[in-house]
Protein backbone atom coordinates (compact mmCIF):
# COMPACT_ATOMS: atom_id res chain seq x y z
CA UNK A 1 0.00 0.00 0.00
CA UNK A 2 1.28 3.49 -0.88
CA UNK A 3 2.15 5.31 2.34
CA UNK A 4 0.96 8.86 2.71
CA UNK A 5 3.48 11.70 2.65
CA UNK A 6 2.76 14.87 4.60
CA UNK A 7 4.81 18.04 4.23
CA UNK A 8 4.40 20.52 7.08
CA UNK A 9 6.29 23.21 8.98
CA UNK A 10 8.68 21.76 11.52
CA UNK A 11 7.87 22.26 15.20
CA UNK A 12 10.03 22.52 18.32
CA UNK A 13 9.25 18.91 19.25
CA UNK A 14 10.69 17.73 15.89
CA UNK A 15 14.22 18.85 16.81
CA UNK A 16 15.56 15.46 17.97
CA UNK A 17 14.17 13.70 14.90
CA UNK A 18 15.64 16.36 12.60
CA UNK A 19 19.05 16.01 14.28
CA UNK A 20 18.93 12.22 13.82
CA UNK A 21 17.91 12.68 10.18
CA UNK A 22 20.93 14.90 9.43
CA UNK A 23 23.28 12.47 11.12
CA UNK A 24 22.00 9.71 8.81
CA UNK A 25 21.78 11.75 5.59
CA UNK A 26 25.18 13.46 6.05
CA UNK A 27 27.33 10.87 7.87
CA UNK A 28 30.57 12.66 6.94
CA UNK A 29 29.49 16.23 7.63
CA UNK A 30 28.36 17.85 10.88
CA UNK A 31 25.59 20.19 9.83
CA UNK A 32 23.91 20.12 13.23
CA UNK A 33 25.29 23.43 14.59
CA UNK A 34 24.08 25.19 11.43
CA UNK A 35 20.70 23.42 11.49
CA UNK A 36 20.24 24.40 15.16
CA UNK A 37 20.98 28.06 14.35
CA UNK A 38 18.56 27.96 11.44
CA UNK A 39 15.78 26.42 13.52
CA UNK A 40 16.45 28.99 16.26
CA UNK A 41 15.62 31.79 13.81
CA UNK A 42 12.03 31.05 12.71
CA UNK A 43 11.37 34.68 11.80
CA UNK A 44 13.96 34.35 9.04
CA UNK A 45 13.89 30.68 8.08
CA UNK A 46 11.22 28.35 6.72
CA UNK A 47 11.73 24.74 7.79
CA UNK A 48 9.58 22.00 6.30
CA UNK A 49 9.55 18.35 7.30
CA UNK A 50 8.39 15.33 5.33
CA UNK A 51 6.44 12.89 7.48
CA UNK A 52 5.53 9.28 6.63
CA UNK A 53 3.74 7.11 9.21
CA UNK A 54 4.41 9.77 11.88
CA UNK A 55 8.18 9.57 11.24
CA UNK A 56 10.23 12.51 9.98
CA UNK A 57 11.98 11.34 6.82
CA UNK A 58 13.04 14.64 5.28
CA UNK A 59 13.76 18.29 5.97
CA UNK A 60 14.45 21.39 3.93
CA UNK A 61 15.25 24.85 5.23
CA UNK A 62 15.08 28.17 3.41
CA UNK A 63 16.76 31.30 4.78
CA UNK A 64 15.17 34.55 3.68
CA UNK A 65 17.72 37.18 2.73
CA UNK A 66 18.46 39.84 0.14
CA UNK A 67 21.04 40.80 -2.44
CA UNK A 68 23.36 43.44 -0.98
CA UNK A 69 21.29 46.56 -0.36
CA UNK A 70 18.70 45.88 -3.07
CA UNK A 71 15.12 45.68 -1.90
CA UNK A 72 14.19 42.39 -3.61
CA UNK A 73 13.48 39.64 -1.11
CA UNK A 74 15.37 36.43 -1.79
CA UNK A 75 15.96 33.07 -0.13
CA UNK A 76 18.68 30.45 0.13
CA UNK A 77 17.68 26.78 -0.06
CA UNK A 78 19.86 24.72 2.31
CA UNK A 79 20.18 22.25 3.72
CA UNK A 80 17.99 19.51 2.22
CA UNK A 81 18.09 16.00 3.64
CA UNK A 82 16.11 12.81 3.09
CA UNK A 83 16.61 9.73 5.21
CA UNK A 84 18.73 7.23 3.21
CA UNK A 85 16.03 4.58 3.68
CA UNK A 86 13.47 6.89 2.07
CA UNK A 87 15.49 8.35 -0.81
CA UNK A 88 14.46 8.15 -4.49
CA UNK A 89 10.76 8.17 -3.65
CA UNK A 90 10.11 11.79 -4.56
CA UNK A 91 10.38 13.10 -0.98
CA UNK A 92 13.23 15.55 -1.70
CA UNK A 93 11.32 16.82 -4.74
CA UNK A 94 8.13 17.25 -2.73
CA UNK A 95 10.00 19.26 -0.06
CA UNK A 96 11.64 21.53 -2.64
CA UNK A 97 8.41 22.09 -4.62
CA UNK A 98 6.42 22.80 -1.49
CA UNK A 99 9.11 25.22 -0.27
CA UNK A 100 9.24 27.07 -3.60
CA UNK A 101 5.48 27.54 -3.46
CA UNK A 102 5.76 28.88 0.10
CA UNK A 103 8.35 31.41 -1.09
CA UNK A 104 6.12 32.50 -3.99
CA UNK A 105 3.17 32.88 -1.60
CA UNK A 106 5.38 35.04 0.65
CA UNK A 107 6.26 37.30 -2.29
CA UNK A 108 9.92 36.24 -2.38
CA UNK A 109 11.25 36.92 -5.84
CA UNK A 110 14.40 34.86 -6.13
CA UNK A 111 15.86 31.71 -4.61
CA UNK A 112 19.48 30.51 -4.56
CA UNK A 113 21.05 27.11 -3.93
CA UNK A 114 24.53 25.62 -3.84
CA UNK A 115 24.21 22.03 -4.97
CA UNK A 116 24.34 19.48 -7.73
CA UNK A 117 22.88 20.99 -10.93
CA UNK A 118 21.83 17.49 -12.02
CA UNK A 119 19.44 17.47 -9.07
CA UNK A 120 18.39 21.10 -8.68
CA UNK A 121 18.06 21.70 -12.44
CA UNK A 122 14.84 19.67 -12.39
CA UNK A 123 13.20 22.33 -10.22
CA UNK A 124 14.14 25.18 -12.57
CA UNK A 125 17.43 26.25 -10.97
CA UNK A 126 20.08 27.51 -13.40
CA UNK A 127 23.68 28.59 -12.90
CA UNK A 128 23.90 32.05 -11.28
CA UNK A 129 26.70 34.32 -12.44
CA UNK A 130 25.55 37.84 -11.46
CA UNK A 131 24.81 37.38 -7.77
CA UNK A 132 27.70 35.91 -5.81
CA UNK A 133 27.70 33.62 -2.78
CA UNK A 134 28.94 35.23 0.48
CA UNK A 135 32.43 33.81 -0.15
CA UNK A 136 34.25 32.95 -3.37
CA UNK A 137 33.46 29.37 -4.34
CA UNK A 138 36.00 26.79 -5.51
CA UNK A 139 36.41 27.18 -9.30
CA UNK A 140 35.00 23.74 -10.05
CA UNK A 141 31.82 24.63 -8.13
CA UNK A 142 30.84 27.45 -10.50
CA UNK A 143 27.90 25.52 -11.93
CA UNK A 144 26.77 24.44 -8.45
CA UNK A 145 25.81 28.03 -7.52
CA UNK A 146 22.32 28.35 -8.95
CA UNK A 147 19.20 30.46 -8.73
CA UNK A 148 15.71 30.79 -10.06
CA UNK A 149 13.33 33.70 -10.39
CA UNK A 150 10.01 33.07 -8.67
CA UNK A 151 8.10 36.01 -10.13
CA UNK A 152 8.41 37.89 -13.41
CA UNK A 153 8.53 41.13 -11.42
CA UNK A 154 12.16 40.65 -10.36
CA UNK A 155 14.60 42.84 -12.26
CA UNK A 156 18.01 41.36 -13.06
CA UNK A 157 20.08 41.45 -9.88
CA UNK A 158 23.79 41.69 -9.31
CA UNK A 159 25.89 41.82 -6.17
CA UNK A 160 26.36 39.40 -3.33
CA UNK A 161 23.86 37.43 -1.29
CA UNK A 162 23.53 39.00 2.18
CA UNK A 163 22.84 36.26 4.71
CA UNK A 164 22.46 36.06 8.50
CA UNK A 165 25.61 35.53 10.58
CA UNK A 166 25.25 31.76 10.92
CA UNK A 167 25.89 31.48 7.16
CA UNK A 168 29.03 33.63 7.36
CA UNK A 169 31.45 30.76 7.87
CA UNK A 170 33.80 30.20 4.90
CA UNK A 171 33.89 26.48 5.72
CA UNK A 172 30.23 26.21 4.70
CA UNK A 173 31.12 27.47 1.23
CA UNK A 174 34.36 25.70 0.50
CA UNK A 175 33.43 22.02 0.40
C1 LIG B 1 19.71 14.73 -2.49
C2 LIG B 1 18.50 14.19 -1.75
C3 LIG B 1 17.91 15.29 -0.88
C4 LIG B 1 17.45 13.74 -2.77
O5 LIG B 1 16.30 13.33 -2.07
P6 LIG B 1 15.34 12.21 -2.70
O7 LIG B 1 14.10 12.17 -1.87
O8 LIG B 1 16.11 10.95 -2.85
O9 LIG B 1 15.06 12.86 -4.11
P10 LIG B 1 13.89 12.52 -5.11
O11 LIG B 1 13.32 11.16 -4.83
O12 LIG B 1 12.95 13.65 -5.11
O13 LIG B 1 14.67 12.54 -6.45
C14 LIG B 1 15.46 11.44 -6.72
C15 LIG B 1 16.21 11.70 -7.99
O16 LIG B 1 17.26 12.59 -7.70
C17 LIG B 1 18.48 12.01 -8.09
N18 LIG B 1 19.48 12.43 -7.15
C19 LIG B 1 19.52 12.23 -5.83
N20 LIG B 1 20.63 12.83 -5.33
C21 LIG B 1 21.26 13.38 -6.37
C22 LIG B 1 22.45 14.13 -6.50
N23 LIG B 1 23.24 14.42 -5.45
N24 LIG B 1 22.78 14.55 -7.72
C25 LIG B 1 22.03 14.28 -8.78
N26 LIG B 1 20.88 13.57 -8.72
C27 LIG B 1 20.52 13.15 -7.53
C28 LIG B 1 18.24 10.53 -8.04
O29 LIG B 1 19.12 9.85 -8.88
C30 LIG B 1 16.82 10.44 -8.54
O31 LIG B 1 16.81 10.54 -9.94
P32 LIG B 1 15.68 9.85 -10.81
O33 LIG B 1 14.39 10.48 -10.36
O34 LIG B 1 16.05 10.20 -12.20
O35 LIG B 1 15.77 8.42 -10.45
C36 LIG B 1 18.85 12.96 -0.87
O37 LIG B 1 19.45 12.01 -1.70
C38 LIG B 1 19.79 13.27 0.30
O39 LIG B 1 19.34 13.68 1.38
N40 LIG B 1 21.09 13.04 0.10
C41 LIG B 1 22.09 13.25 1.15
C42 LIG B 1 22.21 14.69 1.54
C43 LIG B 1 22.41 15.60 0.34
O44 LIG B 1 23.27 15.34 -0.51
N45 LIG B 1 21.61 16.69 0.31
C46 LIG B 1 21.67 17.66 -0.77
C47 LIG B 1 22.63 18.72 -0.45
S48 LIG B 1 22.87 19.78 -1.84
Distance (Å, rounded) from C-alpha 130 to C-alpha 165? 22
Average pLDDT of 28-46? 96
CA distances to 39, 42, 95, 118 from 92, rounded to whole Å, are 19, 21, 5, 14
Q: Which residue has the CA at smallest separation from atom 36 of ligand 1?
A: 82
Q: Residue 70's pLDDT is what?
A: 72
- CA-CA distance, 144 to 146, in Å (whole number)? 6
> Which of 25, 31, 82, 93 for mutating ligand 1's site (highest number of atoms within 8 Å of CB)?
82
Nearest C-alpha to atom 7 of ligand 1 is from which residue?
92
The pLDDT value recorded for residue 96 is 98
Confidence band, pLDDT 50/70/90 cuts, at residue 172: very high
123-169 pLDDT tens trace: 999 999 999 999 999 989 989 999 999 988 777 778 899 999 999 99
User: Number of C-alpha atoms within 13 angstroms, CB side, residue 6?
Assistant: 9
CA of 60 from ligand 1 middle (Å) equals 13
Q: Whose CA is nearest to atom 15 of ligand 1?
A: 88
Dist CA 144 CA 101 (whole Å): 22
- Cα of 92 from ligand 1 centre, angstroms: 7
Q: How far is the CA of 80 from the centre of ligand 1 (A)?
A: 9
Residue 1, pLDDT > 60, answer no
Give the position, in ligand 1's atom list, of the atom nearest the Cα of 94.
Answer: 12
Ligand 1 centre to CA of 155 (Å) is 31
Q: In sequence order, which residues have a C-beta less than 8 Å from that of residue 41 and are 6 or more positions away? A: 63, 164, 166
CB 77 within 8 A of CB 112: yes
- Its pTM stands at 0.95
Minimum-distance ligand 1 atom for the alpha carbon of 114: 48
Residues within a 6 A CB radius of ligand 1: 25-26, 79-82, 87-93, 115-116, 118-119
Q: What is the 3-state secondary structure (H, E, C) of the chain?
A: CCCCEEEEECCHHHHHHHHHHHHHHCCCCCCHHHHHHHHCCCCCEEEEEEEECCEEEEEEEEEEEEECCCCCEEEEEEEEEECHHHCCCCHHHHHHHHHHHHHHHCCCCEEEEECCHHHHHHHCCEECCCEECCCCCCHHHHHHEEEEECCCCCCCCCEEEECCHHHCCHHHHCC
CB 72 within 8 A of CB 157: yes
| pLDDT tens per residue, range 42-94 | 999 999 999 999 999 999 999 999 987 677 789 999 999 999 999 999 999 99
Amino acid sequence: MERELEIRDSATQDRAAIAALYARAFPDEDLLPLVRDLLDDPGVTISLVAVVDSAIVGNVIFTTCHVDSIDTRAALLAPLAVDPASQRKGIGSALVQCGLQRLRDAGIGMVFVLGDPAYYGRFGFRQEASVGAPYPLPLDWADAWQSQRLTDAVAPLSGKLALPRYWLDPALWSG
